[in-house]
Structure 1
Amino acid sequence: MACDKSFCSNHLLLSPEKAGVIDLLRILIYSDVHKREFVDSSEEGEESFERRWIMFVSILAQKLLLLVAKPLSLIGSVIEFWLNFLSSNRNFGRLLVNCFRGKVMPDRESASYISIVGYLDKRVELDNRIRPGDSEYHAALSMMASKASYENKAYLQTTITHHWQMDFLGSYNFWNDYQRKVTTQAFMLRDRDTIMVAFRGTEPFNAADWCMDFDLSRYELPGVGNIHGGFMKALGLQKTLGWPKELDPLLKTPAPFAYYAIREKLRSLLGENDKVKYVLTGHSLGGALAILFPAILAIHGETWLMERLEGVYTFGQPRVGDDKFGEFMERVLKEHRIAYFRFVYSNDIVPRLPFDDSASMFTHFGRCCYFNSKYEGNVIPEEPNKNYFSPLQVIPMMMNAWYELMRSFMIAWEKGPSYKEGLLLRIFRVIGLLIPGIPAHIPQDYVNSTRLGGSQLFLHQQ
Structure 2
Amino acid sequence: MGSRNLFGVNYLLLKPEEATVFDLGTLLFSSKLSNRRFIECPEGVEAEYFRQRWLIFTSVVAQILLLASRNSLKRFGDMLEFWINLLSWNGGFKGLFFNILRGKVKIPEKSSASYLSVVGCIDTRVDLDKNIKQNDAKYEGSLSMMASKLSYENENVVCNAVQNHWNMEFLGLHSFWNDYQEQWSTKAIILQDTKSEPKLIVVAFRGTEPFDADQWRTDVDLSWYNFANVGRIHVGFMKALGLQKNFGWPKEIDQTNPYSYAYYTIREKLRTMLKENTDAKFILTGHSLGGALAILFAALLTIHEETSLLEKLEGVYTFGQPRVGDYEFGEFMKDKLRKYNVRFKRYVYCNDVVPRVPYDDKNLFYKHFAPCLYFNSFYRGQVLEEEPNKNYFSVFWVIPKLLNAVWELIRGFLPALLVGESYTQNWFMTIMRIFGCMIPGIPEHLPPDYVNVTRLGTLPQNSQDSKTD
Same fold (TM over 0.5): yes
Per-residue deviation, 1:93: 8.4
Asked if 1:27 is matched to 2:33, the reply is no
Q: Match of 2:22, as an amino acid? A: I
Aligned partner of 1:73 in structure 2 is 74
Query: Equivalent of 1:104, from 89, 95, 106?
Result: 106
Cα distance in 2 between the residues matched to 1:68 and 1:93: 33
Using a 3 Å threshold, how does the CA distance of structure 1 residues 229 and 386 change in structure 2: closer, same or farther? Answer: same
Q: Which runs of 4+ in 1 moved over 4 A?
A: 96-100
Give the 5 Å matches for 1:28-427.
28-42=28-42, 44-48=44-48, 49-90=50-91, 91-92=95-96, 95=99, 104-192=106-194, 193-253=199-259, 256-427=260-431
Report if aligned partners of 1:287, 1:316 keep a CA contact under 8 Å in 2: yes
Using a 3 Å threshold, how does the CA distance of structure 1 residues 5 and 204 change in structure 2: closer, same or farther? Answer: farther
Cα distance in 1 between the residues matched to 2:35 and 2:433: 45
Query: CA offsets per residue over residues 293-335 of structure 1, 9 Å max, x none?
Result: 0101111111111111000000000000000000000001000
Q: Match of 1:37, as an amino acid? A: R
Query: CA offsets per residue over residues 33-68 of structure 1, 9 Å max, x none?
Result: 212021110251431222211211111111111111
Q: Match of 1:214, as an amino acid? A: V
Say which SS state the counterpart of residue 348 (structure 2) adopts: strand
Percent of aligned pairs with the same residue? 51
**TM-score, L = length of structure 2:** 0.94
Say which SS state the counterpart of residue 34 (structure 1) adopts: coil
Per-residue deviation, 1:2: 3.5
Between 1:154-163 and 1:414-423, the stretch displaced more is 414-423
- Identify unmatched segments of 5+ residues in structure 1: none
Q: Match of 1:322, as an amino acid? A: D
Query: CA offsets per residue over residues 190-231 of structure 1, 9 Å max, x none?
Result: 002000000000000001111111121100000000000110
Report if aligned partners of 1:4, 1:240 keep a CA contact under 8 Å in 2: no
Using a 3 Å threshold, how does the CA distance of structure 1 residues 238 and 161 change in structure 2: closer, same or farther? Answer: same
Cα distance in 2 between the residues matched to 1:381 and 1:42: 34
Say which SS state the counterpart of residue 34 (structure 2) adopts: helix
Say which SS state the counterpart of residue 68 (structure 1) adopts: helix
Query: CA offsets per residue over residues 165-200 of structure 1, 9 Å max, x none?
Result: 000000000111011111100000000200000000
Query: CA offsets per residue over residues 269-292 of structure 1, 9 Å max, x none?
Result: 011122100000000000000000
Cα distance in 2 between the residues matched to 1:185 and 1:9: 31
- Identify unmatched segments of 5+ residues in structure 2: none
Report if aligned partners of 2:122, 2:448 keep a CA contact under 8 Å in 1: yes
Report if aligned partners of 2:208, 2:290 keep a CA contact under 8 Å in 1: yes
Query: Equivalent of 1:460, from 449, 458, 463?
Result: 463
Say which SS state the counterpart of residue 154 (structure 1) adopts: helix
Cα distance in 1 between the residues matched to 2:102 and 2:123: 25
**TM-score, L = length of structure 1:** 0.96
Cα distance in 2 between the residues matched to 1:43 and 1:233: 24
Per-residue deviation, 1:344: 0.2
Report if aligned partners of 2:241, 2:263 keep a CA contact under 8 Å in 1: yes
Cα distance in 2 between the residues matched to 1:11 and 1:38: 14
CA root-mean-square deviation: 1.7
Report if aligned partners of 1:314, 1:343 keep a CA contact under 8 Å in 2: yes
Report if aligned partners of 1:369, 1:457 keep a CA contact under 8 Å in 2: no
Say which SS state the counterpart of residue 188 (structure 1) adopts: strand
Report if aligned partners of 1:342, 1:369 keep a CA contact under 8 Å in 2: yes
Using a 3 Å threshold, how does the CA distance of structure 1 residues 284 and 60 change in structure 2: closer, same or farther? Answer: same
Query: CA offsets per residue over residues 357-413 of structure 1, 9 Å max, x none?
Result: 122210001111110100011211111111112222122111111111011233211
Cα distance in 1 between the residues matched to 2:185 and 2:443: 24
Report if aligned partners of 2:4, 2:42 keep a CA contact under 8 Å in 1: no
Cα distance in 2 between the residues matched to 1:434 and 1:372: 19
Asked if 1:444 is matched to 2:448, the reply is yes
Using a 3 Å threshold, how does the CA distance of structure 1 residues 104 and 134 change in structure 2: closer, same or farther? Answer: same
Cα distance in 2 between the residues matched to 1:291 and 1:133: 24
Query: CA offsets per residue over residues 82-128 of structure 1, 9 Å max, x none?
Result: 0001110111587379956xx72100001000011111111111111
Per-residue deviation, 1:249: 2.9
Q: Match of 1:38, as an amino acid? A: F
Per-residue deviation, 1:155: 0.2
Report if aligned partners of 2:137, 2:464 keep a CA contact under 8 Å in 1: no
Cα distance in 2 between the residues matched to 1:273 and 1:46: 52
